[in-house]
Amino acid sequence: MESFKDQTVIVTGGNTGIGKEICLQFATEKANVVVNYLFEEELAFDLVAQIEKLGGKAIAVKGDVSVLDQAKNIVETSIKSFGKIDILVNNSGITRDNLMMRMSEEEFDSVINVNLKGTWNMCKSVTRHMLKNRRGTIVNIASVVGIIGNAGQVNYVASKAGIIGLTKSLAKEFGTRGVTCNAVAPGFIQTKMTDSLTDEVKEQYLAQIPLNKFGTAQNVADSVLFLASDKASYITGQVISVNGGMI
C-alpha cells in the first residue's frame, strides 16, 4: 500500500516507542517522514536510515515542542525540506508521577508544558499552512487516563484530558477549511517500561482488560494511520480509544 505517497507527516517524539512505530508505518506507505526528537539523537538518525531503506524519505529535526519558537522551527524546516505538511501527529509526552500531596510544582508544570502546551505549540505552528492549503490532518495522542482519571497522575491526566478538549475545539475551528483533528487514546501499551514490571503488577493490569492482553505500539499506529487517511475524511473531533476494552 502507498496511501500516503508523497504526503509529508511530522511525528513529534518520533524516535522511540509509539512514535517510532508511527514513523515506520507511514514510511512503509511511502510518506515523507519528519522525525522530531529532543533526546537520543542517535536513535533519530538510525530511524531515518531505516525509513530510507524502506524506500521512503525522512529527516530528523531536533526541537523541544514545549517552546513555541522551537515548534515553529520544526514546522518551517519540514516545509523547506518537503514543500508542505499534510499530517501532524502530536506524540511527544512525559510523565512525572506522584501523589498530589507530594507532587512538586515543577513535576506538574513540566508535564503540562510538554504534553499539553507542546501539542498547542505544534498545532499553532501548522495552522496557517494547513488552513491556507485547505487540507490537512492532525492526530493527537491522548490517553485512556485522560478519560477515566488515575491516582498518582493528576499532572499527566490533566494534560491528556486537555489534549482531548483541544482536539474537539480545533475540529470545530478548522472544519470549514477542510482540516480534520482527532485523537487516539491508548490504554496499557507494551513498551520497555511495562516489560520491567513484575508479573504480579502485570496481572493486576491485565485483570482490567477484557481482551486479556496489553496493546502494542502497532495497534496505536494503525489507528493513527486510519485517522490520517482518506478513509477517515468525514471523521473529526473524535477520540479513538485503543485499550482492549478497559473502558
**pLDDT string in tens for the chain (247-residue length):** 568 988 999 999 989 899 999 999 999 999 999 999 999 988 999 999 999 988 889 999 999 999 999 999 999 999 999 999 999 999 999 889 899 999 999 999 999 999 999 999 999 999 999 999 999 999 999 999 999 998 889 999 999 999 999 999 999 999 999 999 999 999 988 877 667 778 887 888 889 899 988 999 999 999 999 999 999 999 999 999 999 998 8
Cell of 99: 501523589
Cell of 246: 478497559
Q: Which parts of the chain are beta strand (E)?
A: 8-11, 32-37, 57-62, 87-90, 136-141, 179-186, 239-242
136-141 and 87-90 beta bridge pairing: parallel
Catalytic one of 37, 156, 205, 234? 156
234 assigned to active site: no
- What stretches of 145-239 show up as alpha helix (H) in DSSP? 145-148, 154-174, 192-195, 199-206, 217-228
pTM of the predicted model as reported, rounded to 2 decimal places: 0.93
DSSP H or E segment with residue 126: helix 118-133
